[in-house]
Amino acid sequence: VKIAVLGTGSVGRTMAARFATIGHDVTVGTRDVQATLTRSEPDAMGNPPFSTWAAGHSQVPLLSFAEAAANAELVVNATNGGVSIEVLTQAGADNLAGKVLLDIANPLDFSQGFPPTLFVKDTDSLGEQIQRAYPDVKVVKALNTMNTAVMVDPTLVPAPHDVFIAGNDADAKRRVAGLLGEWFGWTPGSIIDVGDITAARGTEMMLPVWLRLWQALGTNQINFHIARAGV
Amino acid sequence: VKIAVLGTGSVGRTMAARFATIGHDVTVGTRDVQATLTRSEPDAMGNPPFSTWAAGHSQVPLLSFAEAAANAELVVNATNGGVSIEVLTQAGADNLAGKVLLDIANPLDFSQGFPPTLFVKDTDSLGEQIQRAYPDVKVVKALNTMNTAVMVDPTLVPAPHDVFIAGNDADAKRRVAGLLGEWFGWTPGSIIDVGDITAARGTEMMLPVWLRLWQALGTNQINFHIARAGV
């Protein structure tokens, strides 16, 4: 499956690196390829310039959002939630139509500092905003409730833990569930389908407690597990 | 420890019954004792009339909110979140001052049907609203992220799972953590202190995904576990 990862931050880099490692045809999408490659300062989150990462991952082309989306069968939204809709506009509705969009972003608002608040919640979600803006796209919300390193390597957390998927298209969710296993090693029993895309309200609202748990436990190598009979 | 449980719904009944079973001096507080005892219809949630429960728990006196609070060393807020502040006003600031208030309520708004939304979230919480309204009370938010049956008997969920506590008073949190063990059997390793009372934002915002998980998994005998190295 040809994959486009939209976003050049640490989340996008980690996902793209994993796809390349396992031999998938992956590209990374960005707003302005030249600007991204010529930037020589760390980004706003303190990550090294993208060119540093790109030098170590020469098999991963950097394309415009539109080119990356056009060439892909499956698109990963690894952008900051605050720019996701605009990035998808640049990717282009025609380039996205009919495709599965794996949305791993969160609607975090850092404008008041840390901890961030959520710019949409409770009666709506980023996942729903994206689905409404691109009705021809099969949006599947998943992986947004954990650290990126854990997303791509669930064995980092030794005890059983879970990934939640939400979306309106049952086939797309089944496909993503299979890919989460193939790509990252998520077992079927660790994947919980929480319903249609409105369930993204619930999973996006887990971020605030996740941030508190990170502080309280002193590690981000943690994840939610839904304990229940037999699991 | 003399305990007052404020609220006569299923949550209050379950908590009070557990306290009585283990031999604690417990009272239940209500708005109007006579009205509560003479009601003969199921309540809005379909619970049998309180008098039916009271007949089987004659060792648990039903008092006004103020009397219950005045007689207690520790108060449990088991009311619906939407009336919690008003109930505590009836209980009386003087009757609550200096005491630990274990707040297990959630800010659920059922005015638009099911699933409920949250009437406060993200930048504030019910726990904080209560703490601000009663600054002399030691508010400890806990147990609000699970079904009542699981609150009082964590063995209902066989795998490891956790209870989150939040509050501004470290001694009050330590005391509650000890009592959760003594009362219900929560082990020290299953109690996670997520910080000051502002952390209630995070735990209260777990309700929407909990409701989805209840639907998706077909059981409310579930609970959150934070998987991490060694646990």
Element (H, E) at A206: none
Residue B22: predicted pLDDT:
95
A171-213 residue pLDDT tens: 999 999 999 999 999 999 999 999 999 999 999 999 999 999 9
Closest CA to B82 of B55, B56, B108: B108
CA distance B145 to chain A (A): 11
**pLDDT score for A228:** 95
Distance CA B19, CA B13 (A): 10
Contact B229, A222 (CB under 8 A): no
DSSP string covering B67-101: HHHHH-SEEEE-S-GGGHHHHHHHH-HHHHTTSEE
Beta bridge partners of A165: A142, A193
Band (pLDDT 50/70/90 cuts) for residue A218 is: very high
- Quickly state the pLDDT bin for B120 (edges 50, 70, 90): very high
pLDDT on residue B46: 86
* Sequence-distant (≥ 6) Cβ neighbours of residue A201 within 8 angstroms: A121, A122, A123, A124, A125, A128, B208
Q: What is the arithmetic mean of pLDDT over B55-64?
A: 97
Show residues of chain A in contact with B109, CB under 8 Å. Answer: none
**In A70-94, which positions are buried (b, 16+ CB within 10 angstroms) versus exposed (e)?**
bbbebbbbbbbbbebbebbebbbee
B85-89 average pLDDT score:
98
Find the DSSP H helices in A104-191. 126-133, 148-152, 170-184
Q: What is the mean pLDDT of residues B189-213?
A: 98
Whose CA is closest to B91, among B107, B109, B78?
B78
Q: What is the pLDDT confidence band of residue A59, given thresholds at 50, 70 and 90?
A: very high
ipTM: 0.96
Tell me what pLDDT residue A231 has.
78
Cα A220 to Cα A217: distance, rounded to the nearest angstrom: 8
pLDDT in tens, A117-136: 999 999 999 999 999 999 99
Mean pLDDT to the nearest integer, B47-75: 97
Q: Report how far apart, in Å, the C-alpha atoms of A16 and of each of A1, A3, A72 are.
A: 13, 9, 13
pLDDT at A229 over 90: no
Report the residue from B118, B224, B229 with minimal CB separation from A224.
B224
Which residues from B are below 8 Å from A when comparing CB atoms? 117-118, 121-123, 157-161, 164, 192-195, 199, 201-203, 205-206, 208-213, 215-217, 219, 221-231
A119 neighbors A107 (Cβ within 8 angstroms): yes
Residues B193 and A190 sit within 8 Å (Cβ to Cβ): no
- pLDDT of amino acid A45: 79
pLDDT at B231: 78
What local confidence, expressed as pLDDT, does residue B229 receive? 85
- pLDDT over 90 at A44, yes or no: no
DSSP B45: T
Q: What is the pLDDT of residue A209?
A: 98
pLDDT at A230 over 90: no
Question: Does residue A26 contact residue A60 with C-beta atoms inside 8 Å?
Answer: yes
Overall pTM > 0.90 = yes
Residue with token string 């009601």: B39
- Report, as an integer, the average pLDDT of B195-204: 98
Q: How many CA atoms lie within 13 A of A221 on its CB side?
A: 11
Chain A residues within an 8 Å CB radius of B122: 117-118, 121-122, 208
* Digit-coded pLDDT (tens) for A77-101: 999 999 999 999 999 999 999 999 9
Distances (CA, A) of B138 to A180, B83, B205: 45, 19, 22
Alpha-carbon gap: B231 to the closest alpha carbon of chain A (Å): 6
b (16+ CB within 10 A) / e for B107-117 = bbeeeeeebbb
pLDDT tier, B45 (very low <50, low <70, confident <90, very high otherwise) = confident
Could you check whether the bond before residue B208 is cis, i.e. omega within 30 degrees of 0? no
Chain A CB contacts of B205 below 8 Å: 121, 205-206, 208-209
Give the 3-state secondary structure of residue B193: strand
- HSE, side-chain direction, 13 A CA sphere, residue A70: 8
Average predicted confidence (pLDDT) for chain B:
97
Cβ A27 vs Cβ A60: under 8 Å: yes
Question: Stretch A126-151: mean pLDDT, rounded?
Answer: 98
- Averaged pLDDT of chain A: 97
Q: Given a cut of 80, is residue A6 above it in pLDDT?
A: yes
Q: Provide the Cα torsion A130, A135, A138, A141; round to 10°.
A: 20
